[in-house]
Amino acid sequence: MSTDTGRIYTGSWVNHAKGSITGATLTLSSSQGAFLVAFLGVFITLVGSQFWVLVSFALHQLNCTKTYDGLQKQHQVILRNSGTSAGAAYELLRLPFYWWRREDQTQRIEDARLWPFLRRSWVLSLFPLLSFALFAGAGVLSSQVTKAAGDELLVSGSNCGQWNFNPQAPMSSYVEKSQNESQIAYNYARECYGGSVSSTTCNTYMHQQLKWSEDRNANCPFESGMCLLGDTAALKLDTGYIDSHTVLGINSPKRDRIDYRRVTTCAPLNTSGRIQPNKISGTSIIYYDYDFGPTSSSNVTWTYFEVFSSLGGLLYSLDQWANEAGVANQSWFPDPGLAQADADITLFAMSANNVAYIDPVTDPFFQATHQVQVQTSTGTQLYYKANDYDEFVHFASCVDQHQLCDPNIKPPKCTALHGWMTLQAAILNFAWTTPRQLATALRIQQVLQYSSMFYTTSGRGGLVLRASEKVSQIISAGLPSNQWMIEMSDLFAMALARLQHGIVEYATGPTDITEGMIVQGPSDSEGQALCSAQMVRNTGLYSNFSILGLSLIVGIGTVIIIASIFVESIVDVFRRRRRYSTVNNSVDKSQQWVLDGKFQLMRLAYEGIGVGTWVRTGEHVPVVKEGGQKIFSAFEKSGGA
């Protein structure tokens, strides 16, 4: 299943698995997401530089004293004029070596060893280094806003509803759609069930595969004697309780979620007394009628011609019939020993036809124990084939039942097990906790019909069987004695894959529109709301961002930027109001910050050699009087004073 890019919602939404705050998510296209990631990187870099302004201002002010030595004053100048934390760290780390290697030792510091200089400068350098590391890490970790948001996407739901066909639609349209659905389920089950596959195909649904348990000694679901292997040798496949949100992807708060369960029980059938050999009058053509109840077009269930068992390259064939509880128009009317009032039945007829086995096959659904000579490209050899009326066609039947539960009630309360149609009445009569639960239950129920064992295999023929993968030309390797269980488990996986596809397709609408198809959407407000509540996995075409993470980054970053712009003014006002502008009434810290600025240091340097007449000497940027530029020009041409 591929999710059309136009059917994914872009914008803000809430992933209820994570709560209304941490689950707030912004979904963008991959190109838009790349721009946002780039912006975050630039923004964090800007915030980091402004954060250093705050740190350097605080360090400078804390280091303001009444007297300085030369090294301390240089520390103050570095703190005041370093534009970045990396630049400040670089200057502080190399500064001690200039003091240690002084040529003029006439006024040497009391201890001229390297360590004192290293200690004073390198301890101070820890602050810019930590600031740099903090925001370098923040830049790298900014990508976590995408990981924190998860890889779930929300379907737009613009064409939501269950597909069907109007009465005038050609049968070919229905067959085409049914075949497409079966092919999707077949491909997905083959590729994604039964292993840890990481391909894009397997990362579409909320869960790669739905799990189930197997009971290989389950009670036969039919009348005693109908199951070929006995009354306690059926195969029961049970999904257990599947969460509508975390597994099926219907995005809802916990109070609105429901649990879905599916139970399918299969068994090979006893054909004793149900086979009638016949011969077409005036010919040698022999055929066999198999009777498990009439169909809408015949008094018997299936007719098999003996010639098929030796006809050229004819391989496996698989035919099926369904009887769905509560459905008015039926195509098969099962024998009373098979009939179910609260379940959907699928009857399978499997013929190996001209397939020959290297070893005898004792599996009850593929039994072939007659040794015959078979002409192959390498000559005539002995193989094992189904070569008698009791082996030409094997029958098995599966019973599908569904159950829905309210997990918010302790202990959970559930409907009885039903067929897909009779489940609807049970849903409507069930006391759900919230209206959204009812809408969710009805939505799941609508897609169950086409996930039955019948619709999953309809039209696929013998190619759907795992056994067909072992055939080369007409020769097959031997099959294990439990091959029928392998096949039924595999068909069950296909049915679950079709359920997964159907749940998503209900929200997206069908992508393969055929003639006469109609899409019937929900008419109630709760059902319509669920149309935009289907989640799928991101296959790389979109980017998710945590709105909480974005808000924290932008919010904290904006506060830091604003604080760095106004920190001097705020501190200055605070000091004036609290009368804390001096230390021991002798050092003006705010003025020291101004005087240590690069433009003030430039002024002091030029004033020290008598160049220029300066004004605004108490501001950040002093300037020379009008005409002062000529003095600088003459000074520079003369090479200095």
Q: Would residue 3 count as lying in a domain?
A: yes
| Per-residue pLDDT reduced to its tens digit, 312-336 | 778 999 999 999 999 988 999 999 9
pLDDT band at 502 (very low <50, low <70, confident <90, very high): very high
Q: Would residue 122 count as lying in a domain?
A: yes
SS (H, E, C) 19-50: CCCCCEEEEEEHHHHHHHHHHHHHHHHHHHHH
Q: Would residue 242 count as lying in a domain?
A: no
Q: Would residue 129 count as lying in a domain?
A: yes
- Asked if residue 73 and residue 18 are part of one domain, the reply reads yes
Euclidean distance between CA atoms 632 and 129, whole angstroms: 39
Euclidean distance between CA atoms 186 and 460, whole angstroms: 9
Q: Is 501 exposed, middle or buried (0-12, 13-18, 19+ CB in 10 A)?
A: buried
CB within 8 A of 310, min separation 6: which ones?
354
Q: Would residue 33 count as lying in a domain?
A: yes
| Per-residue pLDDT reduced to its tens digit, 165-203 | 787 778 787 788 888 888 999 999 999 997 666 677 788
Q: Is 629 exposed, middle or buried (0-12, 13-18, 19+ CB in 10 A)?
A: exposed
Domain count, the chain: 2
Residue 292 is predicted with a pLDDT of 96
pLDDT at 1 exceeding the cut of 70: no
pLDDT at 581 exceeding the cut of 70: no
**What are the φ and ψ backbone dihedral angles of 554, each rounded to 5 degrees?**
-70, -40
Q: Would residue 578 count as lying in a domain?
A: yes
| Per-residue pLDDT reduced to its tens digit, 433-447 | 999 999 999 999 999
- Asked if residue 608 and residue 547 are part of one domain, the reply reads no
Q: Would residue 632 count as lying in a domain?
A: yes
- Asked if residue 29 and residue 66 are part of one domain, the reply reads yes
- Asked if residue 51 and residue 120 are part of one domain, the reply reads yes
- Asked if residue 122 and residue 27 are part of one domain, the reply reads yes
- Asked if residue 547 and residue 622 are part of one domain, the reply reads no
- Asked if residue 639 and residue 559 are part of one domain, the reply reads no
- Asked if residue 625 and residue 551 are part of one domain, the reply reads no
Euclidean distance between CA atoms 442 and 447, whole angstroms: 9
- Asked if residue 23 and residue 120 are part of one domain, the reply reads yes
Euclidean distance between CA atoms 153 and 15, whole angstroms: 9
Q: What is the per-residue DSSP string for 471-535? A: EETTEE----TTHHHHHHHHHHHHHHHHHHHHHHHHHH--SS--TTEEEE---SHHHHHHHT-BE
Mean pLDDT of all residues in 623-635: 64
| Per-residue pLDDT reduced to its tens digit, 287-317 | 999 999 999 999 999 999 988 887 777 899 9
- Asked if residue 638 and residue 575 are part of one domain, the reply reads no
Contact between 603 and 622 (Cβ < 8 Å): yes
- Kind and range of the H or E element at 140? helix 114-141
- Asked if residue 602 and residue 579 are part of one domain, the reply reads no
Asked whether the bond before 170 is cis by omega within 30 degrees of 0, the reply is no
Contact between 251 and 245 (Cβ < 8 Å): yes
Average pLDDT value for the chain: 86
Residue 615 domain boundaries: 597-641
Mean pLDDT of all residues in 60-85: 79
* Count of residues in the chain: 641
- Kind and range of the H or E element at 309? none
Residue 328 is predicted with a pLDDT of 87
Q: Would residue 173 count as lying in a domain?
A: no
Euclidean distance between CA atoms 368 and 266, whole angstroms: 21
- Asked if residue 610 and residue 571 are part of one domain, the reply reads no
